[in-house]
Amino acid sequence: MNISALQKERALYQPKLPKSLRGTIQMTEGAKTQSVADQEEIAKLFPNTYGMPLIAFEEGSTKNEFAPVNVGVILSGGQAPGGHNVISGIFDGIKRIHPHSKLFGFLGGPGGLVKHEYVELTAEIVDEYRNTGGFDIIGSGRTKLEEEEQFEKALEIAKDLSLNALVIIGGDDSNTNACVLAEYYAAKNTGVQVIGCPKTIDGDLKNEMIETSFGFDTATKVYSELIGNIQRDANSAKKYWHFIKLMGRSASHIGLECALKTQPNICLISEEVAEKKETLSEIVEYMAEVVANRAARGDNFGVALIPEGLVEFVPEMKKLISELNDLLAEGTKTAEIFQNVKKSYRLEWVAEKISKESAVVFKSLPAGIATQLTLDRDPHGNVQVSLIETEKLLGEMVKTKLDEMKLAGEYSGKFGAQYHFFGYEGRCAAPSNFDADYCYSLGYTAAVLVASGKTGYMSSVRNLTSPANEWIAGGVPITMMMNMEKRHGHMKPVIQKALVKLDGAPFKYFLSKRGEWAYKTDYVYPGPIQYFGPTEVCDQPTETLKLEKA
Ligand code: FBP
């Protein structure tokens, strides 16, 4: 493989481990646990894995004697920086436990487990991927492990390879499924353990025991570098407003973290929009007001951050989308008629067929976006919200609003917009030192959980705002993070998704500053991730984590 000089140096980086994992390890068990809600139902659904104690690994004095273990690893869902380090952490962990241990990687995500597609991960392969971004060592996929038939197929290969355990590296859904699988295998006495690892750039897999998901740190550092560069461009040319949509699915953690790092003029937070039940026109009015205020000071430029999932949080848009889903669902009479309606008349036709309130919203949208809502649908027939160009939608609506304000003599500036969407740019970046260390520690912890015979646990590394030396490694029963939620019309046990808390320290800090950031040009330019240099430059966790832990 051809590699750059930086990659060569980076390959030599030795990720830091908590002190407790470096020598002989002693396991301590805490009190029994409970799920965050719906305890009775969840206990009933997970009779073998509910209520297990929290586990902490500490420095021990007696040398551990472990038998070799065979482990299968799966990368599930969207890429997140540091996945390769989780794998190298598992690899080093199981090899240190016993040199005859083996690691198998299932190819292309959970699908590889079901289809029995795998590769043995040898030292030669693992060494090539240490401290690199991406999931390309074995690939990832979004197949959901939910059906008994899949569990049985997976068991076949687990038996063939004499696997002691599967480690599933994924987000909230994948870890929920890991827990269901752990319960299924425990109930059948198969001897196959299942351990989860918290992954997602979205930052929405976190709770009392999981301080952050891996990848969030690096991805937000990459986006913040880009936002900073754009802010500097905006402040140099002084002629554009930049509307930047940021990945993160439903939660706005990414937008909030980037705002805390870069101090843009506007950052919308979906959770706040939902809480205040804001309408699209209220959001647009707020944005236009910021633009106009800056223009009054002679600043016809600025930067606005927009979370990817925003439209789903605007109640009227949610209603509109749901009505459009019903109206245009594949196989329905109305969908068939729609296909035969003349293209130039389609928007009017749709507006006549939906509720009066939704028609008002629909007609207020720029034609391009309205058309998009009637066309792009996922395999289940739903509007693909992530494909909606929210940044353009808002930019165009702000322009229309400013034109109205101009006519009313309330605004006399100039408005030019540029649009960006940052997501894929950050998902496979080389992990920051924080993510390199955190991921390696998560993988290593998973290896120790396997060697200790545990199942239904998520690997947990805490105390993350302290130096890595002082991090606390252990395991958290996945059932502890669960509650019952409606999914596809049925109540299911799932890991609670962590949205931005409006009473949490990161949002409160943002709230105390955003008025000032709106009119001032007080941008911060974070610059690129630094891998070598002083610790205050290279090893800092996210602002979100620092504020949450302060
Ligand atoms: P995960 O939740 O699987 O980690 O994926 C996160 C994410 O990056 C979201 O931010 C984004 O909406 C989505 O994946 C995009 O998915 P895809 O890679 O399938 O386009």
Q: Report the nearest-CA residue for atom 19 of ligand 1.
A: 78
Q: State the average pLDDT for the chain.
A: 95
Number of residues assigned to the chain:
550
Q: How far, rounded to the nearest angstrom, does the alpha carbon of residue 170 sit from its chain's CA centroid?
A: 10
Q: What share of the chain in percent tops pLDDT 70?
A: 99
> pLDDT for 10-60, tens place per residue?
999 999 999 999 989 999 999 999 999 999 999 999 999 999 999 999 998
Q: Which ligand 1 atom sits closest to the C-alpha of 248? A: 10
> pLDDT for 234-276, tens place per residue?
999 999 999 999 999 889 999 999 999 999 999 999 999 999 9
> pLDDT for 278-287, tens place per residue?
999 999 999 9
Is the pLDDT at 383 greater than 90? The verdict is: no
Q: Which ligand 1 atom sits closest to the C-alpha of 386? A: 12
Is the pLDDT at 385 greater than 80? The verdict is: no
pLDDT band for position 464 (cuts 50, 70, 90): very high
| Tokens 């200790």 belong to residue | 452
- Angle at which helices 433-451 and 83-97 cross, to 10°: 40
**202 touches ligand 1 (CB under 6 Å):** yes
> With contact defined as beta carbons under 8 Å apart, do 212 and 459 qualify?
no
**78 touches ligand 1 (CB under 6 Å):** yes
Active site residue 202: yes
Q: Report the nearest-CA residue for atom 11 of ligand 1.
A: 249
Is the pLDDT at 413 greater than 90? The verdict is: yes
Instruction: Among 249, 253, 427, say which to mutate for ligand 1: greatest number of ligand atoms within 8 Å of CB.
Output: 249
> pLDDT for 133-181, tens place per residue?
999 999 999 999 999 999 999 999 999 999 999 999 999 999 999 999 9
**229 touches ligand 1 (CB under 6 Å):** no
> With contact defined as beta carbons under 8 Å apart, do 70 and 102 qualify?
yes
**249 touches ligand 1 (CB under 6 Å):** yes
Instruction: Among 201, 253, 378, 387, say which to mutate for ligand 1: greatest number of ligand atoms within 8 Å of CB.
Output: 201
pLDDT of residue 438: 98
Closest among 480, 443, 439, 452 to 176, alpha carbons compared: 480
**384 touches ligand 1 (CB under 6 Å):** no
Q: Report the nearest-CA residue for atom 1 of ligand 1.
A: 78
Q: What's the gap in Å between 249 CA and the centre of ligand 1?
A: 7
**Greater model confidence, 182 or 384:** 182
**Greater model confidence, 307 or 61:** 307
> With contact defined as beta carbons under 8 Å apart, do 18 and 461 qualify?
yes
Is the pLDDT at 3 greater than 90? The verdict is: no
> pLDDT for 319-350, tens place per residue?
998 899 889 887 788 888 999 999 999 999 99
Is the pLDDT at 386 greater than 80? The verdict is: no
Instruction: Among 386, 387, 425, 428, say which to mutate for ligand 1: greatest number of ligand atoms within 8 Å of CB.
Output: 386
CA distances from 215 to 180, 339, 497 (A): 25, 42, 17
Q: Report the nearest-CA residue for atom 5 of ligand 1.
A: 78
Phi, psi of 385 (to 5 degrees): -60, -35
**110 touches ligand 1 (CB under 6 Å):** no
> pLDDT for 58-108, tens place per residue?
998 887 788 999 999 999 999 999 999 999 999 999 999 999 999 999 999
pLDDT of residue 62: 80
**418 touches ligand 1 (CB under 6 Å):** no
> pLDDT for 113-130, tens place per residue?
999 999 999 999 999 999
How far apart CA 193 and CA 196 sit, in angstroms, is: 10
Q: What's the gap in Å between 77 CA and the centre of ligand 1?
A: 7
Q: Which ligand 1 atom sits closest to the C-alpha of 174? A: 3
pLDDT of residue 379: 65
pLDDT of residue 381: 67
Q: Which ligand 1 atom sits closest to the C-alpha of 79? A: 4
Q: What share of the chain in percent tops pLDDT 90?
A: 87
How far apart CA 305 and CA 299 sit, in angstroms, is: 18
Q: Exposed, middle or buried, 219 (CB in 10 Å: 0-12/13-18/19+)?
A: buried
Q: Note if the pTM is more than 0.75.
A: yes
**171 touches ligand 1 (CB under 6 Å):** yes
Instruction: Among 174, 199, 200, 495, say which to mutate for ligand 1: greatest number of ligand atoms within 8 Å of CB.
Output: 200
Closest among 197, 195, 198 to 212, alpha carbons compared: 198
Select which of 202, 217, 299, 435 is catalytic.
Answer: 202
Q: What's the gap in Å between 32 CA and the centre of ligand 1?
A: 34
pLDDT of residue 331: 79
How far apart CA 274 and CA 133 sit, in angstroms, is: 34
Q: What's the gap in Å between 243 CA and the centre of ligand 1?
A: 21
Q: What's the gap in Å between 52 CA and the centre of ligand 1?
A: 31
Mean pLDDT of the region 300-308: 97
> pLDDT for 353-379, tens place per residue?
999 999 999 998 988 889 988 886 766
**245 touches ligand 1 (CB under 6 Å):** no
How far apart CA 213 and CA 217 sit, in angstroms, is: 9
Q: What's the gap in Å between 246 CA and the centre of ligand 1?
A: 11
How far apart CA 30 and CA 278 sit, in angstroms, is: 44
CA torsion through residues 212, 136, 94, 531, sign:
negative
**246 touches ligand 1 (CB under 6 Å):** no
